[in-house]
Amino acid sequence: MTRRRWIADTVSPPNGHPTHAALTGDQAIHLARVLRAEPGQIFNVVAAGFLHRAEITSVTGDRVDFVLHEELESDSALPLHLYLAIFKFDHLEWAIEKATELGVAQITPVLARRTEKHLAQAAVKRVERWRRIAHEASQQSRRTSVPTITDSTPLKLALERESAPARILLSETEQSLSLSKHLGAPPLASEMWNPTMALAIGPEGGWTPEEMSLFTQHQWTHVTLGPRILRAETAAIAAISIAGTFLG
Ligand code: SAM
């Protein structure tokens, strides 16, 4: 039988190899009250990025403690950093959930010129919710890592910080170079033995021409997903799926 998997909220010692872990808050309440957890029960627990067989040592109101036994085989995240220009929150949150299921390592919400003003302002407070969505989707999809959700970042700063060897802008105005052709073509394909990749998806109104040139200045390759204009969240999921086949 497949054991239920949990991602620990705290681990100890906090640095180095963890021996103990705990669930707190809603996760612990669910485990304690709904699943009637008791000391001695065994679950799979992700602690410090590694999956362990873990035994419950104590259950209190909103905390469940575990001692960690042996490490189990675990997957690793796709080395893919997804930049999502901020768009309508319900669509953006769907994209965060699905990108997490598909395995991305990091998601940065980007403040673009055409990000609606009220969304840009509200994004600051929303990031904690996005982290919770990523946490839940990681658990549900049985990942052993939760993607990092960076604070929302202005595009210029995001481009200055990114150093992945493959930097790819999804552009609805690119006519000829498809994402799969770009990823399959040398020299990129031959460099992919140690790949990290950055993908950027624009807002509902698209990138402005100035933003497109900024990407070019930072050596991002512009690629297309085909002749149809996709919603931003559709483009994100399609791009991650294609990239995933190259990243393994
Ligand atoms: N400016 C567009 C318009 O109103 O005609 C719409 C932008 S589209 C809804 C949002 C983002 O999804 C784009 O900036 C791009 O990153 C991505 N996208 C949509 N369709 C695409 C395609 N066919 N190829 C590559 N990227 C696409």
**How does pLDDT run along the chain (248 residues), one tens digit per residue?**
567 778 898 999 888 788 999 999 888 898 888 888 899 999 989 888 788 999 999 998 889 999 999 888 777 789 999 999 999 999 999 999 999 999 999 999 999 999 989 999 999 899 999 999 999 999 888 888 899 999 999 999 999 999 998 999 999 999 899 999 998 876 565 555 557 899 999 999 999 999 999 999 999 999 999 999 999 999 999 999 999 988 86
Give pTM, 2 decimals. 0.84
Tell me, yes or no, whether 95 and 210 share the same domain.
Answer: yes
- Exposure class string for 93-130: b at 16+ Cβ within 10 A, else e: bebbbbbbbbbbbbbbbbbbeebeeebeeebeebeeeb
Tell me, yes or no, whether 65 and 108 share the same domain.
Answer: no
Quick one: pLDDT at residue 189? 57
Of 42, 71, 100, the one marking the end of a domain is: 71
Q: What's the N-to-C CA distance of the chain in angstroms?
A: 27
Quick one: pLDDT at residue 20? 93
Please state the atom number of ligand 1 nearest to the C-alpha of residue 229: 20
Ligand 1 binding residues, C-beta < 6 A: 170-172, 201-202, 204-207, 224-226, 228-232, 235
Question: What is the C-alpha to C-alpha distance for residues 153 and 123, in angstroms, rounded to an integer?
Answer: 10
Quick one: pLDDT at residue 14? 81
For residue 91, the CA-to-ligand 1 centroid distance in Å is: 14
Tell me, yes or no, whether 10 and 110 share the same domain.
Answer: no
Quick one: pLDDT at residue 186? 63
For residue 207, the CA-to-ligand 1 centroid distance in Å is: 8
Kindly report the protein residue whose alpha carbon is nearest to atom 21 of ligand 1. Answer: 172
Give the structural domain span for 204.
Answer: 78-247
Tell me, yes or no, whether 142 and 63 share the same domain.
Answer: no
- Of 92, 113, 172, the residue with max ligand 1 atoms within 8 A of its CB, to mutate for a pocket test, comes to 172
44 phi and psi, to 5 degrees? Answer: -95, 130
102 phi and psi, to 5 degrees? Answer: -80, -10
Residue 95: CB partners within 8 Å, gap ≥ 6?
A: 84, 201, 232, 233, 236, 237
For residue 135, the CA-to-ligand 1 centroid distance in Å is: 28
Tell me, yes or no, whether 48 and 149 share the same domain.
Answer: no
Quick one: pLDDT at residue 113? 94
What total of structural domains would you count in the chain?
A: 2
Of 47, 71, 95, the one marking the end of a domain is: 71
Tell me, yes or no, whether 20 and 106 share the same domain.
Answer: no
Of 28, 51, 71, the one marking the end of a domain is: 71
Pairing of strands 50-60, 63-71: antiparallel
- Of 84, 230, 240, the residue with max ligand 1 atoms within 8 A of its CB, to mutate for a pocket test, comes to 230
Residue 156 burial (CB count, 10 A) = 13
